[in-house]
Amino acid sequence: MKASLTKKICIYLGALLLATVIAVPVLWLFIMSISSSTHLTTLPLQWWPDEPTFENYRSLLVFAENSPSASFLYGIRNSIIIAFCATGLSIIAAIPAAYSFSRLPGPRRKNLLYAVIAIFMLPPVAIVLPLYTVMSALGLLNTHFALIIVYCSILLPFTTWLLKSNFDTIPGDLDEAPIIDGANRLQAIWYVILPIARPALGAAVMMAVLLAWDEFFYGLLFTNDIRAKTITVAIADLAAGRVADYGLISAAGILAAVPPVVLAFFMQKTLVSGLASGSVKG
């Protein structure tokens, strides 16, 4: 009895500690974002602004030429375009590939699958130099197109693998039946597999968008102004700026985090099972 009470206390203390560790840094980022820059540079530091203000958010969200708002809003726009196009392109190529790996296996294709997974894990520095010189020679630096193509090197192996593991769980008879009746493979994928795999497809799209939204290395190297800079690059620029307005930087961070955080919470179950699928036997 006494032991179980001690255990209970330990559990709640642990839970409290964990909640604090997770929440406090983000909460502080939010408090900074609603503080004025003079308030944040007053010593000793106060933990709550005298006059909370959403001025930082306003100055980011109301467009003005050559201001932080321009690079921020263009960054959001560019990231949305690039993340969705790269995800779309990857999914279109990944669906037939995943089907082929799952339903029409062969020893050489199995090795190919391993190669695809290995490529997904390669450090980007392994391929960035030729990609840069090719994009530069083709005049594609600082375009959405360049990043859409390059992001496929991350998203395509990942989505192929994710979809393949899911297709494996769909009984084979389901798509063999229409094929015996004379349908072709693409029809079987479209009419039989995809409707069943819709949740997995949703998870793959979401994870791919999250990966693309988070990408920084290629974005940094392949873009140089607001026409193509992604939101991560815009944030890094802002954080490294000469005029350090901590409140403004924090507000930009909060805003850039909102889409992925909302998406992840919204699809918590799929995200967790997606993460686990790479590590727990499905």
Partner 1 sequence: MISYRKTVTAWLLLTPMIVIIVGVSGYPLIKTIYYSLTGAKLIAPDVTSIFVGLDNYARALSSSKFLEAIWHTTYFAVISVGAEMVIGVLVALLLNEAFAGRTLLRAMLILPLALPTVVNAMMWRLIYNPDFGALNALLVQIGMLDAYRSWLGDPATALDMVILADVWKNFPLVALIALAALQTVPKDLYEAATLDGAGVWNRFWRITLPAILGPLSVALVLRTIEAFKVFDIVYVMTRGGPASSTKTVSFYVYQEAFAYMRVGSGASYALIVVLISACLIAGYMYLIRKQGEV
Residue 9 interacting with partner 1 (CB under 8 A): no
Site string for partner 1, 62-101 (x = CB under 8 A): ---------------------------x--xxx-xx-xxx
Q: Is residue 177 a contact point for partner 1 (CB under 8 A)?
A: no
How far apart CA 54 and CA 121 sit, in angstroms, is: 41
Other beta carbons within 10 Å of 132: 16
* Nearer to partner 1 among residue 126 and residue 243 (C-beta): 126
Tell me if 61 contacts partner 1 by CB under 8 A.
Answer: no
Q: Which of residues 184-203 bind partner 1 (CB under 8 A)?
A: 185
For the residues of the chain, what is the DSSP string, one character each?
Answer: -HHHHHHHHHHHHHHHHHHHHHHHHHHHHHHHHTS-HHHHTSSSPPSS-SS---HHHHHHHS--TTSHHHHHHHHHHHHHHHHHHHHHHHHHHHHHHHHHHHHS--HHHHHHHHHHHHHHHS-THHHHHHHHHHHHHTT-TTSHHHHHHHHHHHHHHHHHHHHHHHHTTS-THHHHHHHHTT--HHHHIIIIIHHHTHHHHHHHHHHHHHHHHH--HHHHHH--STTT--HHHHHHHHHH-SS--HHHHHHHHHHHHHHHHHHHHHTHHHHHHHHHHTTS--
* Region from 49-57, 65-73, 196-204, 217-225 binding partner 1, contact rule CB under 8 A: 217-225
**In this complex, which beta carbon is closest to partner 1, that of residue 65 or of residue 121?**
121
Cβ closer to partner 1: 65 or 180? Answer: 180
282 scored as a contact of partner 1 (CB under 8 A): yes
- Footprint of partner 1 on 135-154 (CB under 8 A): 149-150, 152-153
Give the nearest distance from C-beta 217 to partner 1 in angstroms: 5
170 binds partner 1 per the rule CB under 8 A: no
Q: At CA 187, angle to CA 181 and CA 191, rounded to 5?
A: 95
**Candidate list 62, 64, 129, 174; residue touching partner 1; CB under 8 A:** 129
Residue 221 interacts with partner 1 (CB under 8 A)? yes
How far apart are the C-alpha atoms of 72 and 61, rounded to whole Å?
Answer: 8
The one segment of 59-67, 170-178, 194-202, 272-280 that binds partner 1 by CB under 8 A: 272-280
Considering only the stretches 60-68, 170-178, 195-203, 251-259, report the one whose residues sit in contact with partner 1 under the rule CB under 8 A. Answer: 251-259
Smallest gap from residue 32 Cβ to partner 1 (A): 7
**Residue closer to partner 1, measured from CB, 208 or 256:** 256
Among 62, 138, 174, 261, binds partner 1 (CB under 8 A): 261
* Under rule CB under 8 A, residue 180 binds partner 1: no
